[in-house]
Structure 1
Amino acid sequence: MKPFTFKQFTVYQDRCAMKIGTDGVLLGTWAPLQGTESTILDIGTGTGIIALIIAQRSNAETIDALEIDTDAFEQAVDNFETSPWGDRLFCYHASFQEFTEEIEGKYDFILSNPPFFSENYKTEHQKRNAARFQDSLPFEHLLYGVSKLMTNDGKFAVILPFREEQNFIALAKQYSLYAHKITRVKGNSSSKIKRSMIVFGFHQVAIATNELIIENSRHHYTQEYIDLTKDFYLNM
């Protein structure tokens, strides 16, 4: 498995069950940072791709990441250390439930590309299952932890299958987390909505919604997608 080279950093992924995909890059590049964040957390970092994108985009003093799988954790640490932002990136090896109970600080911005395949179908690859299925981090546990770890004016950004959007928003309200912005992602103009990227906060506001289309045609990207990712992808 070859490393994935971005403009300012390289991500090795041979030891990770879940490889780099569009979802992580989308969330990392789209997340609406204010520029005032000093502490940021990436839950379920995998290769570390989201945390690395955020490190390039922000001046946050502390960017923590969390990964439960040993191999993925070690690879994320390596990817962080070889990046230009190794002094600001730190990875914890623990479950989110353990982390929530033990950590004392709070975060200005939290991100997660969580396990979201809730169907009964499983592969024989145990690590890939853990990375893809909700069993390892149910939405309730994720939202509870976020509500405990986020500052009062903080934000939480997540990417989900579109079919999970309304359920997740309703569940978030039980933890006093309210949707602020929703961007629905389509592969092309004629395809169905595939993903929802949502930003939550503790304050209720009018929800801003929009749509992101990735391609006009195969490998011909929309200007909006190019603008989002051009600072990262080599071919943009």
Structure 2
Amino acid sequence: MANPFFRFKQFTVFQDQCAMKVSTDACIFGAWMAGVLKERVGDESRVLDIGTGTGLLALMVAQQCPAFITGVEIQQSSTIQAASNMASSPWSGRLRVVPGDINDFTFSSSFDAIISNPPFFEDDLPSPEVGRNLARHGETLTFPQMLRAIFRDLTANGIAGVLIPFHRLDSFLSDALDLGFFCREQVFLQQTPAHSPFRAMLWLERQSLDVRHDPPTLTHQWIIKIGEDYGPECKELLKDYYLYL
């Protein structure tokens, strides 16, 4: 049984009412995107977190960035818990969660950044738990639908960050390119040196209207654990969040 809460240096994430729990790869992704956005967004910027779950990514970004952050969550129990986690944080005035399907939203203005650990992982085996099955599969939100929602709600110069299963990388990037995105940077995560990559972290931006080619993409490959310690890149990212780093 997963721990009902996960305590970070500056905030605590309760997760007992959420189908998807805090994971190491999500924490690494959140820390990575927080670092990217820290250099790119200002005080009046707006950030959207699609499928916020516990509110983890929104909280990690809020720790580093002064932006206003909105989480969208389709599951009622997760929406309630994310709202509680946000309200208990030092940045409650800049955080909110709204219930519903991202496909159905019409926001009053676009977002300067959109982040997501897409909760609907296509082509993986279904979980026997209804909540996890809804949270993990593409029956409600496919990757192309998510990309269209990001394209719809992102400002012209905005940034998008997504964490996806590595085996979906080629098809995801193909869909993104067709829609008008390019990948500025990608990071492949391995569990250990003996494992193949299992997650891809992507930094997407819009293609310029007058330049339709593939700009160079920075590519990195990081190892989460080397022996009993975190890999150097992951350790550097997590040290601002994890209690014992």
Q: Does 1:180 align with 2:184?
A: yes
TM-score after normalising by structure 2? 0.91
Show CA shifts across 1:186-207 (max 9, x none).
1122211111101110135211
Query: Cα RMSD (Å) of the superposition?
Result: 1.3
Residue 54 of structure 2 corresponds to 47
Q: Check whether the contact 2:122–2:142 (CA below 8 A) recurs between aligned residues.
A: no
In structure 2, the residue matched to 1:86 is 92
Task: Give the drift of 1:18.
Answer: 0.8
1:224 aligns with 2:242: no
Q: Does structure 1 conserve the Cα–Cα contact (< 8 Å) formed by 2:120 and 2:134?
A: no
Aligned to 2:41: 36
Deviations 1:163-216 (A, max 9, x none): 111110000112101111111111122211111101110135211111111111
Alignment size in residue pairs: 232
The one-letter amino acid of 1:36's match is V
Deviation at 1:116, TM superposition (A): 4.3
Structure 1 ranges of 4+ moved more than 3 A: none
Structure 1 residue 120: Cα displacement? 6.7
User: In structure 2, which of residues 152, 158, 168 is the aligned counterpart of residue 154 of structure 1?
Assistant: 158
CA distance in 1, matches of 2:231, 2:124: 35
* Structure 1 portions without partners, runs of 5+: none
TM-score (norm 1): 0.94
Cα distance in structure 2, aligned partners of 1:138 and 1:212: 27
Question: Percent same amino acid among aligned pairs?
Answer: 34
Note if 1:96 corresponds to 2:105.
Answer: no
Contact 1:35 1:59 in 2 (8 A): no
- 1:108-119 to structure 2, matched below 5 A, reads 108-119=112-123
The whole-number CA distance in structure 2 between the counterparts of 1:121 and 1:202 is 32
Gaps of at least 5 residues in structure 2 are 208-213
Which residue is equivalent to 1:194? Answer: 198
CA drift of 1:124 comes to: 2.9
The 2-side partners of 1:72 and 1:22 are apart by 19
2:70 maps to which of 64, 83, 87: 64
Deviates more, 1:183-192 or 1:137-146: 183-192
Matched, 1:169 2:178: no
| 3-state secondary structure, aligned to 1:134 | coil
State the Cα deviation string for residues 15-50 of structure 1 (Å, max 9, x = none): 001111123212110112124241111000000000
Which residue identity is paired with 1:63?
I
